[in-house]
Structure 1
């Protein structure tokens, strides 16, 4: 009986040691599975992603800026020339008492609804009882003017007054062709009714450039 008791005691001790060893092994396994420390360090890479997002945003902003700067080029469009259809053309007597020559002032008024440019000499012809008489240019320097809608410019037509006492040459109309145009308009002549008879050596009628006379001058 004693031998059997010792055997049971030895078995009990061996079983205890085996149980302790198993528990120690299980603890090591659990520790290995709950150790994600290296993975937490991997999250440190996320700031580099944020940095690339900021770079993308700045590139988007620069593209918007270039788009905005392009819109400024539309503002540099040139104003077109004033055409006959763009203008209201009138004439009035501008002769001042005591002058040896008469003056008719022609007014060009922009009625196009937009700005236009006028510069140079208009073509001027007088219709007379002796035929058409073309005005000569005075040779004055020309200037360019941009007329806003409703604005006007002027030029003078000068001619000799008939002081001979004779009937002279009767003036029946005024034909005006704006600068750089081919379409004329015919106006009623507002000046003295006749020109003196000349020897035909040249036209006594002269025209100044646009902008060289004021209304009523």
Structure 2
């Protein structure tokens, strides 16, 4: 009987030890679960940071256009463009580089006489010309300066060997008298001070005006009479 009681007691102790071991295992599992939850939260937080970083990367991927040498952004609008839209290139056309001629261009029935002055580029290089030439008529009553008529237009590149023309208009002497006799045509290219004197190809005289000279003489802008090939 004593032996059975000892055996039963031993069984009770063993069962108690087994139960304690199970509780310890459960506690260990319970402690491991929060740790896993924390790791998952950290991973989610890290993923959120990656998204924010991705947003920054996207912003960073949109690079601003590099500034050009003028300080404006490439592909953007720039101020101070190319001089009023003109593409004219080259140095200024000079008197010494131009071959200047004049021809009569009067057409029967016109109320006024017309002379065309041609400026041919013989400088050996392209040059730029624009505006009005200075025109004076030398007469026996003194010098008559032509008045400008029309808009000057944009600068024009005159290729080497090519010409550009302008017109000079003057009143016709239909009085039957001798009028004011023309003795020469003086032409000064635009923006130049050196002149050339040509023979006058038009009518030999102008009508006498109230002021004693030949009345109003007009000059058109460079290119107003067309341009040669």
Mark yes or no: TM-score above 0.5.
yes
The aligned residue for residue 109 of structure 1 is 120
Q: Which deviations, in whole Å up to 9, do the C-alpha atoms of 1:34-68 show, x marking residues without a partner?
A: xxxxxxxxxxxxxxxxxxxxxxxxxxxxxxxxxxx
> What SS is found at the alignment partner of 2:91?
coil
The aligned residue for residue 35 of structure 1 is none
Match of 2:137 among 98, 104, 126: 126
How far does residue 200 in structure 1 lie from its aligned partner after superposition? 1.9
The aligned residue for residue 157 of structure 2 is 146
1:43-192 mapped onto 2 (5 Å cutoff): 78-192=89-203
CA distance 1:114–1:211, change in 2 (3 Å): same
CA distance 1:113–1:176, change in 2 (3 Å): same
Q: Which deviations, in whole Å up to 9, do the C-alpha atoms of 1:167-209 show, x marking residues without a partner?
A: 1000000000000000000000000000000012995100000
Relative to its length, the structure with more helix (as a share) is 1
- Is 1:211 aligned to 2:204, yes or no? no
- How far, CA to CA, are the matches of 1:209 and 1:194 in structure 2? 24
Q: Which has the higher contact order (CA 8 A, sep 6+)?
A: 1
Conserved 8 A contact 2:89-2:128: no
- How far, CA to CA, are the matches of 1:145 and 1:183 in structure 2? 20
* Unpaired runs of at least 5, structure 2: 1-86
* Unpaired runs of at least 5, structure 1: 1-75
Conserved 8 A contact 1:155-1:209: yes
- How far, CA to CA, are the matches of 1:140 and 1:208 in structure 2? 8
How far does residue 106 in structure 1 lie from its aligned partner after superposition? 0.1
- How far, CA to CA, are the matches of 2:194 and 2:183 in structure 1? 20
- How far, CA to CA, are the matches of 2:169 and 2:132 in structure 1? 14
The aligned residue for residue 27 of structure 1 is none
> What SS is found at the alignment partner of 1:171?
strand
- How far, CA to CA, are the matches of 2:88 and 2:140 in structure 1? 47
> What SS is found at the alignment partner of 1:140?
coil
- How far, CA to CA, are the matches of 2:156 and 2:218 in structure 1? 22
- Superposed CA RMSD: 2.1
| TM-score, structure 2 as length reference | 0.58
- How far, CA to CA, are the matches of 1:200 and 1:93 in structure 2? 26
Aligned length: 141
